[in-house]
Structure 1
């Protein structure tokens, strides 16, 4: 399955800045950063649950927002890029 993960984390406090770094780190472990707060993730249903749980346990739901869009398979291959965007290697293993 393909997911588009977007987030907006409050960064006006040191705790918010820490949460932002942690959310980014979690997302980097599951997918490819395509913009500052946007990740493309190719995963299984189980992995989607793990990702969602890790993110939910990290944010402050009163101050932060995460959106996870479930996309049709092949959506990433058909995405149009304008500007300095690069095409992430979704069909290869993610190596950290």
Structure 2
């Protein structure tokens, strides 16, 4: 499934700044960063459940906000961009 994940972590404390880094690192393990706090993710149901469990263990539910949008099938292939934004491939092989 195609997902769009956004987050807003309260960074008014040192603990919040650490959570922000952990949330960003966690998201980088699941998808592609397309803006500072926005990730495009391709996952199956099990992968989504793992991501949600890890996110729940990382954030402060009283001050942080995570939003995950389920996009239509292949929704990430119909993205339009403007400015410096670049389309990124989510399903092609990655060469490192």
Partner of 2:49: 49
- The Cα shift of 1:92 comes to 2.2
Count matched residues. 96
Cα RMSD, aligned residues only: 1.5
Cα offset for 1:89? 1.6
Structure 1 residue runs of 5 or longer lacking an equivalent are none
Distance 2:22 2:11 in 1: 12
Give TM-score scaled by structure 2 length.
Answer: 0.94
- CA distance in structure 1 between the aligned counterparts of 2:93 and 2:56, rounded to whole angstroms: 25
- Report runs of 4+ in structure 1 exceeding 3 Å deviation: 93-96
Q: Do structure 1's residue 14 and structure 2's residue 25 form an aligned pair? A: no
- SS of corresponding position for 1:41: strand
Task: Report SS of the residue matched to 2:77.
Answer: coil
Structure 2 residue 80 is the aligned partner of structure 1 residue 71: no
For residues 57 and 91 of structure 2, the distance between their equivalents in structure 1, rounded to whole angstroms, comes to 29
Quick check: which one's helix share is greater?
2
SS at match of 2:75: coil
Q: Secondary structure at the match of 1:6?
A: strand
Q: SS state of the match for residue 89, structure 2?
A: coil
